[in-house]
Structure formats: C-alpha cells, structure tokens
Amino acid sequence: MNLNKYLDVNPEVAEAVRAGRPVVALESTIISHGMPYPQNVETALNVERIIRENGAVPATIAIIGGRLKAGLTPEEIEYFGKKGTAIHKASRRDLAVLCAKGEDGATTVTTTMMIAHMAGIRIFATGGIGGVHRGAETTMDISADLEELASTPVMVVCAGAKSILDLGLTLEYLETKGVPVLGYGTEELPAFYTRQSGFRVDYRVDSPAELAKIFKTQNDMALGGGILVTNPIPEEFSMPKAVIDAAIDQAIAECNEKGIHGKETTPFLLARVAELTGGDSLASNIRLVYNNAKLAALTAAEYCKL
C-alpha cells in the first residue's frame, strides 16, 4: 500500500511495534463527532489510560494537516475535541482529497483500520461498527466499515454494530464477505446500548488468549480480512431494549423527515437518541468504549506472546 509516505507514526507507538509490544488503535470520529467538548477529550484520554493500565500502548488515529497520524499527543486530542464537527468525517473515499488539500480528518472504523494496518498495529478498539442501515434495500446505505473488515487484517473490538442499524442484514453482509463475528462471553450479538439483539454470533469466545490465538491463526493461514469481536456493554450500564428501540425509531423518523442522508446520518441519529434518552445513551456509549479498550489491550498483550 503506497500510503506510507503520508504516514506519521508517534515515536512511542513506532518503538512498541518494532519491539513486538502490544499496541491498540483508537478512532478519532468518536472525539470529533461522538460527544461534546470537553467530555470528548476527557473520554479519549481515559480510554488511552485504560489501555495503558492493561498493558498496551494506545494509538489514537487521525488525519491532521493532510498527514495520516498513528498515535496522537494529548495536545492533538485537545485540538480535535475543540474543533469537533468542523473536522471532516473521513472514510476511505476522503483520504486522498484530505491529504492533497492538507486538511484534517476524523477517522471512522474504516480509515482507522487502514492506517493501523499501515503502521503495523493489529488490534483496534471502538464503540460500535457501521453496517447496513434500515431501509438499505432501497437506499443502498451500507457502511464502508463492512468492506474494510473483509479486506484489512485488523481485529476490531466493539460492542456490536450500532443499534440504529439493521442488525440482521449487517450480519448477513459480514457472512457473505467471510468476516468471522465472535461474541466475547456471549452467543448473542450485542446491540451497542443493550446486551441483547435476538441475533446469534458465529462463535462464542471466553478469553483474550483465545481471541488472540484465533486471530494469529487467521493471519498465519493468510486468509485476509479482519475479525469482528463483539463485547457486550457491562450489565450495569446496559439500557432497557424497549427504551432504546423507541428512541431509535423516533430518531430515524425525524432523520427521514429532515432528508438527512450519507455520512451525516449516524452522527444525527446518535445525537438525537442521546437527547431522547436524557443523556443515558451517551453515558452508556462511554462505558462500552472503556470496556472495549480493556478487552482490546488484554488481547493485544496475549497476541504478542504468540
């Protein structure tokens, strides 16, 4: 991949990768588009701290001034948090434009996977992946995250696909693309804010060591593509399914009425759901990210032992 001339790897991250020590990638869209300032910066720094406490080096990924960044400084995270939604939400199609124009970009799951892979980082923690949107049979609104999982060998640890999506079709799409969907301590796909979705994952896995062994085996076999690890939100922070479903249904109806589409859809829906739940969904979102960061760090540490 001839993108490395546009890549800057933080010295601490580069040294850890060279030495074979555990590193965990983090996305930056959650900072710029996921929550308001200063809560976004506080959350991002806490996630990095949790990764360090569990034995790995954090590498928050972003685009700054047209440079692909693998590992941000606290000052750069602060900059991203303050600038917020004024920063472009950058998927695969945006990379060349942003680099050529020397602009900033907040990386999605797709672009975080791409840049992590370029930097030699194998494990990535996020909140939830994108997927097949409700009504995609007519809108064709399908996240690029699914295509990236099919082609880029990075393990993504998440709390399932975002529950604003069509979870059944998202699983079907991942199956078609040959992406293994693993449930950490569960046989049921978690639905982001809640632990239950009514859909089954491909396999249940019960330890970071087992996750690492599966990923190492997939890489050794040169099967290509990533692995999706779905890690349920901790029970004490899980929201009642009926409450979150009602909020999502209302948010989607408002989104359609306003004619919002494309990359603006997910930020609008997540923000509106947070309003409709009195902020409970945002609090749950933060807790599930912390939970995923811990599991990703433990898995990265186990992977480095293999």
**Quick check: 122 and 25 in contact, CB under 8 A?**
no
- The number of angstroms, rounded, from the C-alpha of 170 to the middle of its chain's C-alpha atoms is 15
How is residue 135 written in tokens?
């009504």
Among candidate residues 69, 89, 162, 294, the one labeled active-site is 162
Per the CB < 8 A criterion, the answer to whether 74 and 82 are in contact is no
What is the tally of helices (H) and strands (E) in the chain? 13, 11
39 contact partners, CB below 8 Å, separation of at least 6? 282, 286
Q: Is 65 helix (H, G, I), strand (E, B) or coil?
A: coil
For residue 202, give both structure tokens: 């491909």
Give the 3-state secondary structure of residue 184: strand
Which of the following is catalytic: 27, 78, 148, 302? 27
Cα 83 to Cα 70: distance, rounded to the nearest angstrom: 19
Count CB-CB contacts under 10 A for residue 241: 16
Type of residue found at 139: T
Residues 6+ apart with CB under 8 A from 256: none
258 is catalytic: no
Residue 101 a catalytic site member: no
Residues 6+ apart with CB under 8 A from 124: 24, 25, 26, 27, 109, 112, 113, 116, 154, 155, 156, 157, 296
Position 230: which residue type? Answer: T
Q: What is the 3-state secondary structure (H, E, C) of 100-133?
A: HHCCCEEECHHHHHHHHHHCCCCEEECCCECCEE
Active-site residues, by number, are: 27, 162
